[in-house]
Amino acid sequence: MTSLDGISKEMSPILRMSAPKGVRDIASTAFKPGVPLFRSWICLGGILPIDFSDLTLLSITPGVGFVEQSRMGSMRFWRHERTICPVESGCRLTDTLTFEPRLGGPLAVAFVRKFFAHRHKMLRKHLGAF
């Protein structure tokens, strides 16, 4: 849920997020709620930087979920809550997004929805049904 390798697989091949050398798992970094961990560059196709995120966690509960509220170049406001809960057939993963794009309005909203549908597809591919 918080490993950079897992996040890369989730986002691939559309986007990739950078991280400082040596950071392999966000959950293992010492963090203070609401204080940025690091600046992550968001790269189209894994190559072309198109945005940044000052990655900021408000909370994290290993195996259960996290709340991220980060400053981003493309967003006036960005909040991503992920929860995982057990169900009879495995688990249910829910991403709740609250955001306001700086530009693009409905097109930006459509892209984010489509991108998170892609992320869920990649998660199912790599982890099985949820």
Q: Which residue is it, tokens 């693009």?
A: 104
Give the span between the Cα atoms of 29 and 89, in whole angstroms: 32
Edge to edge, the sheet with strand 71-72 lists 15-17, 38-44, 48-55, 71-72
pLDDT at 39: 98
Span 91-116, pLDDT tens digits: 899 999 999 999 999 999 999 999 99
pLDDT at 130: 55
pLDDT at 11: 97
129 pLDDT exceeds 80? no
pTM: 0.92
Span 69-97, pLDDT tens digits: 999 999 999 999 999 999 998 889 999 99
Distances from the Cα of 90 to the Cα of 14, 72, 84, 129, angstroms? 27, 33, 10, 7
